[in-house]
């Protein structure tokens, strides 16, 4: 009985301190790791979108290239007090294969954000567009896929990178 408890405690400690992977996959996947995008919003939205895009593209096995008729689209607009600052919806898919992902950024909230926080929102939505779901870990070992704007990282972390590379 005591032994069983010790093993349970050991597993619990392992679970807390050594998460080999924590990323969560959405279930959608592009047919190829060569994915097209646009960041044709305006001002700092375009800048931060390109910053996030470059990180995902450089740090993972996915290659993002610009197209005027892209797989990943982006729109910044004032959608009002609707409780979301960013949204990624499946624009076109067949089964689990996705052909278009549409990102919306709600300037109702994000206009008052710092560039860094704004980049976090867009990089998060780009993570969805590549096939990641939410991962609620904060801090340096956390995830840009944290599900609200209290996130403390604004770039893909190693776990986010591992998640994308597990898909492609
Ligand atoms: Zn999200």
Residues of the chain whose pLDDT is less than 70?
A: 1-21, 140
**Which has the closest alpha carbon to 149: 85, 79, 81, 104?**
85
pTM for this entry: 0.87
- Return the domain boundaries, the chain: 22-167
Query: Residue 145 in contact with residue 24, Cβ under 8 Å?
Result: yes
* CA 132 to centroid of ligand 1, rounded, Å: 9
Cα 13 to middle of ligand 1, angstroms: 29
CA angle in degrees (0–180, nearest 5) for 68-111-84: 80
Q: Are 36 and 126 in contact (CB under 8 A)?
A: no
Question: pLDDT at position 109, please?
Answer: 97
**Per-residue pLDDT, 142:** 84
pLDDT at 1: 40
**Predicted local distance difference test score (pLDDT) of residue 7:** 44
Q: Which CATH architecture has domain 22-167?
A: 3-Layer(aba) Sandwich (3.40)
- Going from the C-alpha of 146 to that of each of 57, 76, 131, 151, the distances in angstroms are 20, 21, 14, 6
Cα of 4 from ligand 1 centre, angstroms: 39
CA of 38 to the centre of ligand 1 (A): 19
């Amino acid at each position: 009985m005591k032994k069983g408890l010790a093993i349970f405690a050991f597993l619990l400690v392992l679970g807390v301190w050594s998460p080999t992977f924590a990323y969560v996959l959405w279930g959608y996947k592009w047919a190829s790791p060569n994915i097209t995008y646009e960041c044709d919003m305006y001002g700092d939205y375009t800048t931060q979108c390109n910053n996030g895009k470059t990180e995902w593209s450089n740090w993972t096995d996915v290659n993002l290239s610009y197209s005027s008729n892209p797989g990943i689209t982006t729109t910044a607009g004032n959608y009002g007090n609707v409780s979301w600052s960013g949204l990624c919806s499946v624009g076109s898919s067949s089964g689990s294969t996705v052909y278009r992902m549409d990102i919306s950024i709600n300037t109702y909230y994000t206009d008052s954000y710092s560039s860094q926080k704004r980049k976090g929102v867009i990089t998060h939505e780009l993570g969805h567009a590549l096939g990641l779901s939410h991962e609620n870990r904060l801090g340096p070992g956390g995830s840009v896929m944290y599900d609200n704007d209290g996130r403390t990282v604004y770039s893909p972390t190693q776990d986010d990178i591992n998640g994308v590379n597990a898909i492609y």
